[in-house]
Amino acid sequence: MSERRNSAAVKVFPPAVPLIVILLGVGLQRIWPIDVGFEPAAPARYWIGGLIAAGALFGLGLWSVLIMRGTGQSENPWKPTTEIVERGPFRVTRNPMYLQMVLVCVGFAILLWNVWILALTPLGAFVLQRLAIVPEEEYLEREFGEAYLDYKRHVRRWI
């Protein structure tokens, strides 16, 4: 008899995905540079990219973590979930912490003016969806049934 896990069967360490996207993009830019024909002034791209990345990380990401911890839960996907959180950013997206990871990639793509990072970001989002989000949703459906299905009906996966 197999023992039922009381957590999501997430198959990847989620923060590693955007880190790999960014590092791979930087490496590919060094090996096969892509020149888009223009480059905005460094201060502008640093401010815009930095604001997107920092806003995602410290705004959306930190806010989500604080809300999760405020309910006595962990942001760690391998820990049990005791309730469905429906306030703060969770009212707009079911996955604010994963969304912030994708936005951090976009921010770094602008900050570093790196097309490779931007091109790899959808792949990173796909990996997060398949290896983290889908297993989490399957777990939450088993754990909370109709309550989670109702949440899914009125809150989108990403935005």
pLDDT tens sequence across 57-90:
999 999 999 999 999 999 999 999 999 999 999 9
What's residue 6's pLDDT? 83
- How do residues 96-115 score in pLDDT, each as one tens digit? 999 999 999 999 999 999 99
Spell 18-42 as b/e; 16+ CB within 10 A means b: bebbbeebeebbeeeeeeeeeeeee
For residue 68, being part of any structural domain is answered with yes
Total residues found in the chain within this entry: 159
pTM of the model: 0.92
Q: Is residue 121 part of a domain?
A: yes
Q: Is residue 26 part of a domain?
A: no
- Is there a contact between 52 and 106 (Cβ–Cβ < 8 Å)? yes
Domain for residue 27, yes or no? no
Query: How is 8-21 classified by DSSP, letter by letter?
Result: ----S-TTHHHHHH
Residue at 19: amino acid letter: L
Q: What is the DSSP string of 41-61?
A: -HHHHHHHHHHHHHIIIIIII
Q: Rounded to whole angstroms, how far apart are CA atoms 63 and 61?
A: 5
Close Cβ partners of 86 (under 8 Å, ≥ 6 residues apart): 151, 155
Nearest to 85 by CA among 58, 67, 59, 62: 67
At 154, the pLDDT band (50, 70, 90 cuts) reads very high
**Per-residue confidence (pLDDT) for residue 7, from 0 to 100:** 87
Domain that holds residue 137: 41-75+83-154
Number of domains into which the chain is organized: 1
124, 131, 121: which is closest to 17 by C-alpha? 124
Q: Does residue 4 register a pLDDT over 60?
A: no
Assess if residue 131 is contained within a domain.
Answer: yes
